[in-house]
Amino acid sequence: MSSQLKTYLTPEEYLAIERRAEYRSEYFNGETFAMVGASRRHNLIAGNIFGELRQQLKGRPCEVYTNDMRVRIPATGLYTYPDVVVVCGEPEFEDEYIDTLLNPTLIVEVLSGSTAAYDRGQKFGHYRNIESLTEYLLVAQDECRIEQFVKQSDRQWRVTDTCSLESTIELAFVPCTLQLKEVYDKVSV
């Protein structure tokens, strides 16, 4: 019987490896977790949201990033790649590489069967520790549905569920609106 020792990485070791890697991995508590590829629907929805936000944020003091912008949650140590991230005000980065954002205002995750429970539970638990985060969107890809979580106080979040293609979501802290018909453009739901 053989036993294999698990190798734990420091955050610095993880970042050194991640910056050279051909694929992305999340990091938590010394371990890395390879990220799987996304479906066509997932990519269309994330791209539509990015496009809508980018267009509406032109000329405003906010930046929008796609899923290649790593986010670090200092309070828990998680490094992750949200599908879409917005930062309003001056972005803060972990180091001189300017590839790990510390102060997102809005995070959007497009749900899949394998990530929905994690995105709603543990991952949102990590995200709630980001002081600058004021809004979190969970976007279904198999049905027309967006769950909008808006920070009310330090640990209180208000949730709104929107399920109609004719609906529009007013973002609370980012000066934008999302029309569900645009979010789901070219996606049959």
Domain edges within the chain? 39-183
Other beta carbons within 10 angstroms of residue 149's beta carbon come to 21
Q: Identify the pLDDT of residue 1.
A: 45
**How far is C-alpha 52 from the chain's CA centre?**
16
SS3 for the chain is CCCCCCCCCCHHHHHHHHCCCCCCEEEECCEEEECCCCCHHHHHHHHHHHHHHHHHHCCCCEEEECCCCEEEECCCCEEECCCEEEEECCCCECCCCCCEECCCCEEEEECCCCCHHHHHCHHHHHHCCCCCCCEEEEECCCCCCEEEEEECCCCCEEEEEECCCCCEEECCCCCCEEEHHHHCCCCCC
Q: Identify the pLDDT of residue 164.
A: 96
Residue 140: CB partners within 8 Å, gap ≥ 6? 111, 146, 189
Q: List phi, psi (to 5°) of 26.
A: -85, 165
d(CA 51, CA 15): 29
Classified by CATH at the fold level, domain 39-183 comes out as tt1808, chain A (3.90.1570)
- Supply angle C-alpha 43, 157, 136, rounded to 5: 15
Q: Identify the pLDDT of residue 155.
A: 79
Beta bridge partners of 147: 138, 161
Question: What is the residue-level pLDDT of the chain in tens, covering all 189 positions?
Answer: 445 666 799 999 999 999 999 999 999 999 999 998 889 999 999 999 999 999 999 999 999 999 999 999 999 999 999 999 999 999 999 999 999 999 999 999 999 988 999 999 999 999 999 999 999 999 999 999 999 999 998 779 999 999 999 999 999 999 999 999 999 999 998
Other beta carbons within 10 angstroms of residue 181's beta carbon come to 14
Global confidence as pTM: 0.94
d(CA 150, CA 64): 18
**How far is C-alpha 160 from the chain's CA centre?**
18
